[in-house]
Structure 1
Amino acid sequence: MYGTGRTAVHSGPPRPHPYGALPRQPRIPKGTGEARRYLAVGLDCYLCLLAVGLLVHSCLGSAGAGRTAAVLLGHLLVLSFANQVLLTMAVRASAGKLIMGVRVIRLPDAGRPEFRRLVLRWLYGLFWLPLQPWHHLRRTAAAEPPPRERLGGGPPAAPCVDLAGVRQVHRSDLRYYRAAVEGHRG
């Protein structure tokens, strides 16, 4: 009705969608393979060590070993934080992931991960992941059986999800997902 702020209600049967039934909501992209993720992590480590090595190169001759180690460790932490948290907030990927074509998404809605999740993910990678080879060697030395998930028993683990609730996906898969969501809305 014109001028009243109310709209006229059309009574009668609902009209069908002009292109048939609406498709269901697209699924979130599956995670990348382990090889691509490990290569991205290796590139991140290499680039971080290379940059810090170039920055600290001038300190090596003038300072003592203790001061050089402290400066090196400080630079490594700052550069690692900038790469893993700040760069990932800006472009959804660290430097190594950009090179490998991997993007980081938030679950369950494939949105951009927020600062808190990225800091948690960085701390997780900084403190827990370096201990994994030691845990693996210790488990092998104790002759423990492998975890049940590897043998096909037990509940299946969520694929490619880390502690912070994010997933690493291919850049192209994320692009197709966004296009499908936009097409679903339109």
Structure 2
Amino acid sequence: MVSKRPPQATVYPDGLRIGAPASEARGGSANLIDFFLCLILALPVAFAGFAAYASAADGSARGTWATVALLWGSALLVSFGNQVLLGRWCGGSLGKLMLGLHVVRTRDGRRPRFWHLVGRWLAGLLLVPFGVLILAIALAGAVGIDAPLSTGEWLGVSPVHREVPEGPALTPEERAAPERAAERRQPKDAHESRERKARKREERARQREAVARRVREGEAEPLPYGRRVWCAVLDLVFTVVVGTLVWFVLIVAVPSTRTDDSDTVAPIAVMCAAYLGCSFLNRVLLNRTLRGSLGRRLLGLRTAVTRTGRPPGVARLVLQWLLGLALSPISFFFILFGAAPLAQRIVGVTVVPTRERVASQVAAVT
């Protein structure tokens, strides 16, 4: 019996050792964290710039173009500081540092130079829509997606683990040899490719059925406290950030929502509607499409019916969402003490790992 080999460090000809390359899942999660952090940190910067502009203009700064320019300018400024300045000074953006990663030059393993990071940042801005699309497809479990979730690999910058493992290490040529061989190797015919995809689908179906069986039989392991908390935090951040952006867009684009300072009912109503819409999108639509909310899918979890282990239907998800809104003041305490939210218990749904957590073992061929 053989088990999965631990990650190995990379050693360069000058003796420099760096950590193992980051997986696409971890790199994509770091990019998504950077995206949300950029939006969160851009809001106070935009508010400060908006107040400074209003003070300099000696009045209310409610021009549409001024608002849009301040909002986008703040987001670009925060993104530049996170991706370029922190990448140069600390070795990586906030998202990568939070996940134990940093970026290095692929050719020599050193920290990227300033202009190298600027070029990577500009390329990332141009490819943001495609990166979000690839990430959504990857979270949905599609197969055949081989494009990296980072522009660094195209520009000679690679995310690697900060921790450098001991023991034997691979040279860059040895690490790149299997990838180059795979690129040169073409499928003999279309039938071979279809069979390979069918085997992957069957394997994922067996793993999902194993998890569903454990849920039905009551043998599913309880989720760790940290994963429950991080799921709630990521879902809350998604709702707040996206809802705030939708609110800003509606305030700027819809003239009827821009009232005088004495009338605050319309802006508050628009803000509540934006938050509720984003919460419905995450808790119901994404839950049904991806079999889990965005926070759960990022942490390798999915939603299942407690009685059957199958994905819940739309009606059950809508009922859970409505109960969650009504019980939101006390749901925080359930999460704080490591228990499942009350709405999940009432509706009869649970959160389980996407795949069965067993050590993968392969029989040795003798």
TM-score, normalised to structure 2's length? Answer: 0.33
Moved more, 94-103 or 127-136: 127-136
Structure 2 CA distance for partners of 1:98 and 1:131, relative to 1, 3 Å: same
Deviation of 1:29 after TM superposition, in Å, equals 4.1
1:81-118: CA deviations, max 9, x gaps? 11101110001110111111111011221111111211
Higher fraction of helix: 2
Q: 1:51 aligns with which of 34, 41, 46?
A: 41
Q: CA deviation at 1:56?
A: 2.1
* Residue pair 1:118, 1:164 contacting (<8 A) in 2 also: no
Return 5+ residue gaps in structure 2 as ranges: 1-12, 52-59, 136-143, 168-366
Q: Is the 8 A contact 1:107 1:165 kept in 2?
A: yes
Q: Which residue of 2 aligns with 1:172?
A: 163
**Residue identity matched to 2:121:** W
Post-superposition shift, 1:163?
A: 2.2
- CA distance in 2: counterparts of 1:118 and 1:107, whole angstroms: 13
Retained in 2: the 8 A contact 1:28–1:109?
A: no
Are the equivalent residues in 2 in contact too, given 1:32–1:168 (CA < 8 A)? yes
2:112 is the counterpart of 1:118? no
How many Å apart are 1:131 and its aligned residue? 3.1
Match of 1:64 in 2: 63
**Structure 1 residues 115 and 132: alpha-carbon distance in aligned structure 2, compared to 1, 3 A threshold:** same
Aligned residues: 137
Contact 1:121 1:164 in 2 (8 A): yes
> For the Cα contact (< 8 Å) 2:120–2:152, is it kept in 1?
no
Contact 1:28 1:110 in 2 (8 A): yes
The equivalent residue for 2:74 is 75
Answer 1 or 2: higher relative contact order, Cα 8 Å, separation at least 6: 1
1:130 maps to 129
CA distance in 2, matches of 1:132, 1:42: 10
* Contact 1:124–1:163 (Cα < 8 Å) also in 2: no
Kindly report which structure 2 residues correspond to 1:16-165, keeping only aligned pairs within 5 A, or say none: 29-57=19-47, 59=50, 62-132=61-131, 162-165=153-156
- Distance across 1 between alignment mates of 2:134 and 2:26: 23
Give the drift of 1:27.
Answer: 6.8
Alpha-carbon displacement from aligned partner over 1:21-43 (angstroms, at most 9, x marks no partner):
xxx85776442111111111111
CA distance in 2, matches of 1:132, 1:44: 13
Distance of 1:34 and 1:135 partners within structure 2: 11
| CA apart distance, 1:47 | 1.0
CA distance in 2 between counterparts of 1:112 and 1:135 reads 27
For residues 99 and 135 of structure 1, the distance between their equivalents in structure 2, rounded to whole angstroms, comes to 22
The 1-side partners of 2:33 and 2:162 are apart by: 17
What secondary structure, in the 3-state scheme, does the structure 2 residue paired with 1:56 have? helix
State, as a whole percentage, how many aligned pairs show the same letter.
35
**3-state SS in 2 of match to 1:103:** strand
**Residue identity matched to 1:92:** G
In the alignment, what sits opposite 1:143?
Answer: none
Listed as ranges, the gaps of 5+ residues in structure 1 are 1-23, 137-145, 151-156, 178-186
TM-score (norm. length: structure 1): 0.61
Give the letter aligned to residue 113 of structure 1.
Answer: P
Q: Counterpart of 2:155 in 1: which secondary structure?
A: coil
Distance 1:80 1:133, change over 3 A: closer
Name the CA shift for 1:26/1:72 in 2 (closer, same or farther; >3 Å).
Answer: closer
Of the structure 1 ranges 41-50 and 29-38, higher mean CA displacement relative to structure 2 is found in: 29-38
